[in-house]
A and B are shown apart, each in its own frame.
Chain A
């Protein structure tokens, strides 16, 4: 079992629709969860962080965390063509006074105009 799993996609949604991206993780002790957006040929850009169960909203983005189910999701409302990118789920695993961040392989999102 991979430590962080995402559907590779591609996920295709029409402009203005809601895009739903999902992620599961294996380490029950994980406390910090992140979503990054990565455009082709660029480095990852942090768009959301979430640490507690429930929803966290920031503009058109909503992150949802369910630690009991070991599940993290990202909703993008009113999707725009500029949202077309790969979305990476990342989980911090604490150990030995530090942490290491494990990334999923990413989900490619296409927003059709």
Chain B
């Protein structure tokens, strides 16, 4: 049973560029959430996708956008990169449950460095 996968593993960009990160959820999961984790901090919620729509969004600017495909995989796009966007980007997948448990499982992450 494949877990959550993310690509690429590492990425180096320069200020002002655009980046796309990819995520495939765990088999059977239908919800994908994206997080940004700066060094020494907990993951910060960016947004969540379910049924190909953004359902929830954290306090991130519009430079951060995403997409979910019919096979439940997802992309995170960041435009006009800033030095402060350097972080570990985590994708987590879950299955919507009527009781709202929603255990999330994380992928290995993409380490983004903006120079």
| A32 interface contact, C-beta 8 A | yes
**Within the complex, which residue of A42, A94, A103 is in contact with B100, where a contact is CB–CB below 8 Å?**
A94
Which of B61-69, B78-86, B104-112 contacts the other chain?
B104-112
**Interchain CB contact under 8 A, A43 and B107:** yes
Q: How far is the CA of A91 from the CA of B101 in the complex (A)?
A: 11
Q: How far is the CA of A45 from the CA of B73 in the complex (A)?
A: 20
**Interchain CB contact under 8 A, B104 and A103:** no
Chain B residues with CB under 8 Å of A102's CB are 45
**Interchain CB contact under 8 A, A32 and B42:** no
Interface residues of A in 73-113 (CB under 8 A from B): 88, 92, 94-106
Size of the B side of the interface (Cβ < 8 Å), in residues, is 27
Least distance between B99 CB and chain A CB atoms (Å): 8
Chain A residues with CB under 8 Å of B88's CB are 43
Nearest A residue to B109, CB-CB: A43
Chain B residues with CB under 8 Å of A16's CB are none
B-facing mask of A2-14, CB < 8 A → 1, else 0?
0010000000000
**Interchain CB contact under 8 A, A43 and B90:** yes
Q: How far is the CA of A36 from the CA of B90 in the complex (A)?
A: 14
Q: How far is the CA of A92 from the CA of B45 in the complex (A)?
A: 11
**Interchain CB contact under 8 A, A100 and B101:** no
**Interchain CB contact under 8 A, A42 and B55:** no
Q: How far is the CA of A98 from the CA of B102 in the complex (A)?
A: 10
**Within the complex, which residue of B42, B100, B103 is in contact with A46, where a contact is CB–CB below 8 Å?**
B103
**Interchain CB contact under 8 A, B55 and A98:** yes
**Within the complex, which residue of B35, B50, B99 is in contact with A98, where a contact is CB–CB below 8 Å?**
B50
> Which residues of B does A touch, CB under 8 Å?
33, 35, 40-45, 48, 50, 55-56, 58, 88, 90, 92, 99-109
Sorted from nearest, which 6 A-B pairs have the closest CB atoms? A98-B55, A103-B42, A43-B106, A98-B56, A100-B56, A105-B42
9 more contacts with CB within 8 A, not counting A43-B106, A105-B41, are A32-B100, A43-B90, A43-B107, A46-B105, A46-B106, A51-B99, A94-B100, A96-B56, A100-B58
